[in-house]
């Protein structure tokens, strides 16, 4: 009863997983991700410059490419291509990107996170425009810096009116024009501008990790930040200074959290609640975020700051490299392969094959659902890996079913044969699948681009096939074993009591079947040969032991009969041992006795 309940629970889990997989699959044309070679995508070329406007070094470009590649993967876009073009350009190809502006914003964001103490570094603001904030800062900064900032503002306004004009580079001055979007600064209804002296108290290097969360007060999305040990101490020191300043002035002090010259938050430090500053090594960035915006910000903070400033030099749509014909051919190949496997399983294993086919269909649905849920971007090498896993899934069933048929041939009931077959075949299946996964891991680690897609689909497919072959199939057979019609050996292409193939071995108990067969053949051959050459011997003495291993006691078998002599019939021993076999032993002993007499 316990086994029946367990099987029902397993099948219930399988049904739930299939339903979830169908949710991720339908509609397939919207939820299945295809690679650049099958559907095309977006290609963007970024121009890289340092903060001083110089051409970046090769190390800076390599670091920028590595960070951008992490960001692309964080977007859920795999099989992308991020590569160096020339000496100071980076080409990024994104398959199947639907929101181009979001992709461009995240990939090209420099992610310069800085913390400014407002009382020490804020020079002017808030103001409704850039011109207004510069006018309010007149006389507070050097004239040369003011001139450069005004030139930058003029060029920015011109680009806003005419997008064909180049985006101006920020001047190399020790000041920053920072915009606070609506809702960031004291509930502002429209964006406002500030001018800060570029002396941040902390930078993004102090961050260990970031993740999207929710505010405890109103459940609004925010970003949770964990600092490094050094960064946590810096943050505690900065907030402690703000608490002391607030206690002296009787007013809570604030600090600005700025990401790429955009104010993300301007929180205050309550000196009454935190007289020693904010300890614990963590912080929150609150603002008017959506869940997706909070996730994007956490992704940028996690991947780190780009060492260069990037501007979009060119962007264009890329057509499919191989096109729909290749995709159609790959789908047909997969369908034919799956169909042939289904037919083979039914022909060879009868009703067991039907169960295996049902498990393969479940496997195909689960695999497709996992690919869409991850998500995995399918390319032609990835489809090849997926087709290969169909054989892996069928192979696991073949191993178990052959063990079941073997047990039925030995005379066991179908239910007992199923339990024994899964018990003996599981280790073989597990070892084989682990080897496949390890091989795919090595390929995934060392390969690049499309071979990685092949290795990834192979690993995922192998894990899913192990689940369906061992758990799902076992549960179905366990429930069907309770029905009388299922206890027929013919249902699985085997017959009870059928003789094993000659030379067949029992893999978990040694070679008993093969050894016993060899002994039977040796005994018959020796007996026939002895009957032809020797006369009928005298009766066997009582002190000569009869070897029990000479015959297989599991299956009664008639010993070969030697032809009778013309004048006397061959005698039989009390134990029923044939005279031919007895003569063989007697004939082997007599020559040895004669030799000993000669030596004397």
Query: What confidence tens digit (pLDDT) does each residue in 225-268 have?
Result: 888 888 888 888 998 999 999 999 889 999 898 877 888 888 88
| pLDDT tens-digit series, residues 354-401 | 888 898 899 989 999 998 887 777 777 877 888 888 888 888 888 888
> Is pLDDT at 213 greater than 50 in this prediction?
yes
Reported as a pLDDT band with limits 50, 70 and 90, residue 478 is: confident
CATH of region 109-287 = 3.30.1360.200
* CATH 3.30.1360.200 placement within the chain: 109-287
| pLDDT tens-digit series, residues 75-118 | 554 567 788 888 888 888 777 665 666 666 667 666 677 889 99
Interatomic CA distance for residues 363 and 14, integer angstroms: 10
Chain center to CA of 234: 38
* CATH 3.30.70.3400 placement within the chain: 40-98
Question: Domain 40-98 has what CATH class?
Answer: alpha beta
Strand partners, 263: 258
Q: Which of 116-130, 133-147, 285-299, 465-479 has the lowest mean pLDDT?
A: 285-299
> Is pLDDT at 409 greater than 50 in this prediction?
yes
- What SS3 class is residue 253? strand
| pLDDT tens-digit series, residues 306-339 | 777 777 788 777 666 565 676 678 778 878 887 8
CATH level 3 topology of 2-33+322-492 = Multidrug efflux transporter AcrB transmembrane fold (1.20.1640)
* CATH 1.20.1640.10 placement within the chain: 2-33+322-492
What sign for the dihedral angle of Cα 393, 398, 399, 404?
positive
Query: Contact, 405 vs 61, CB < 8 A?
Result: no
Q: In sequence order, which residues have a C-beta less than 8 Å from that of residue 420 and are 6 or more positions away? A: 403, 404, 407, 412
| pLDDT tens-digit series, residues 156-171 | 888 777 766 776 767 7
- What SS3 class is residue 167? coil
**Sheet hosting strand 221-227, strand order edge to edge:** 207-214, 221-227, 282-285
Reported as a pLDDT band with limits 50, 70 and 90, residue 71 is: low
> Is pLDDT at 495 greater than 80 in this prediction?
no
pLDDT at 192: 93
Reported as a pLDDT band with limits 50, 70 and 90, residue 51 is: low
Q: How far apart are the first and last CA of the chain?
A: 76
| pLDDT tens-digit series, residues 4-18 | 888 888 889 999 999
Interatomic CA distance for residues 326 and 424, integer angstroms: 42
Output 254 or 173, whichever has higher pLDDT: 254
Interatomic CA distance for residues 327 and 419, integer angstroms: 42
The average confidence (pLDDT) of the chain is 75
Query: Contact, 308 vs 60, CB < 8 A?
Result: yes
Interatomic CA distance for residues 222 and 295, integer angstroms: 9
């Amino acid at each position: 009863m316990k086994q029946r309940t367990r099987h029902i629970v397993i099948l219930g889990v399988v049904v739930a997983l299939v339903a979830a997989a169908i949710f991720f699959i339908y509609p397939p044309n919207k939820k299945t991700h295809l690679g650049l070679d099958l559907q095309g995508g977006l290609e963007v070329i970024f121009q890289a410059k340092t903060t001083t406007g110089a051409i970046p070094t090769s190390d800076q470009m390599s670091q920028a490419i590595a960070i951008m590649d992490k960001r692309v993967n964080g977007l859920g876009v795999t099989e992308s291509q991020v590569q160096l073009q020339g000496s100071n350009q980076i080409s990024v190809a994104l398959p199947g990107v639907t929101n181009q502006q979001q992709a461009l914003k995240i990939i090209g964001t420099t992610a310069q996170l800085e913390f400014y103490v407002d009382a020490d570094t804020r020079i002017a603001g808030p103001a409704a425009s850039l011109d207004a904030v510069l006018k309010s800062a007149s006389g507070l900064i050097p004239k040369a810096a003011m001139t450069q900032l005004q030139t930058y503002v003029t060029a920015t306004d011109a680009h806003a009116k005419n997008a064909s004009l180049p985006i101006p580079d920020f001047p190399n001055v020790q000041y920053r024009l920072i915009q606070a979007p609506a809702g960031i600064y004291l509930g502002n209804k429209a964006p406002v501008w500030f001018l800060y002296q570029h002396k941040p108290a902390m930078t993004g290097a102090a961050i260990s990790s970031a993740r999207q969360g929710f505010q405890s007060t109103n459940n609004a999305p925010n970003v949770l930040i964990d600092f490094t040990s050094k960064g946590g101490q810096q943050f505690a020191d900065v907030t402690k200074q703000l608490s002391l300043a607030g206690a002296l002035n009787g007013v809570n002090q604030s600090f600005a959290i700025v990401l790429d010259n955009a104010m993300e938050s301007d929180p205050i430090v309550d000196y009454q609640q935190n007289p020693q500053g904010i300890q614990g090594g963590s912080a929150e960035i609150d603002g008017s975020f959506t869940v997706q915006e909070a996730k994007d910000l956490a992704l940028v903070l996690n991947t780190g700051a780009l060492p260069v400033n990037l501007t979009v030099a060119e962007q264009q749509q890329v057509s499919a490299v191989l096109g729909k014909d290749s995709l159609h051919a790959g789908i047909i190949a997969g369908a034919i392969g799956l169909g042939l496997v289904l037919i083979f399983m039914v022909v060879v294993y009868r009703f067991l094959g039907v169960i295996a086919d049902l498990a393969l269909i479940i496997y195909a649905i689960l695999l497709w659902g996992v690919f869409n849920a991850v998500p995995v971007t399918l390319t032609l090498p990835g489809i090849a890996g997926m087709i290969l896993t169909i054989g892996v899934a069928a192979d696991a069933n073949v191993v178990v079913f052959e063990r079941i048929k073997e047990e039925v041939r030995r005379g066991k009931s179908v239910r007992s044969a199923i339990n024994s077959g899964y018990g003996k075949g599981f280790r073989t299946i597990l070892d084989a699948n682990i080897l496949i996964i390890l091989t795919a891991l090595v390929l995934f680690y060392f390969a690049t681009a499309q071979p990685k897609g092949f290795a990834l689909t192979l690993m995922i497919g192998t894990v899913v096939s192990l689940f369906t072959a061992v758990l799902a199939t076992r549960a179905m057979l366990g429930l069907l074993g309770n029905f009388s019609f299922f206890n027929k050996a013919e249902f699985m292409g085997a017959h009870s009591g059928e003789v094993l193939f000659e030379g067949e071995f029992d893999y978990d108990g040694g070679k008993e079947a093969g050894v016993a067969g060899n002994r039977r053949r040796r005994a018959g051959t020796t007996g026939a040969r002895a009957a032809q050459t020797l006369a009928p011997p005298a009766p066997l003495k009582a002190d000569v032991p009869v070897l029990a291993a000479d015959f297989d006691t599991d299956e009664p078998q008639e010993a070969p009969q030697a032809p009778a002599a013309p004048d006397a019939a061959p005698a039989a021993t009390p134990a029923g041992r044939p005279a031919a076999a007895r003569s063989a032993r007697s004939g082997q002993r007599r020559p040895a006795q004669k030799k000993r007499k000669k030596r004397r």
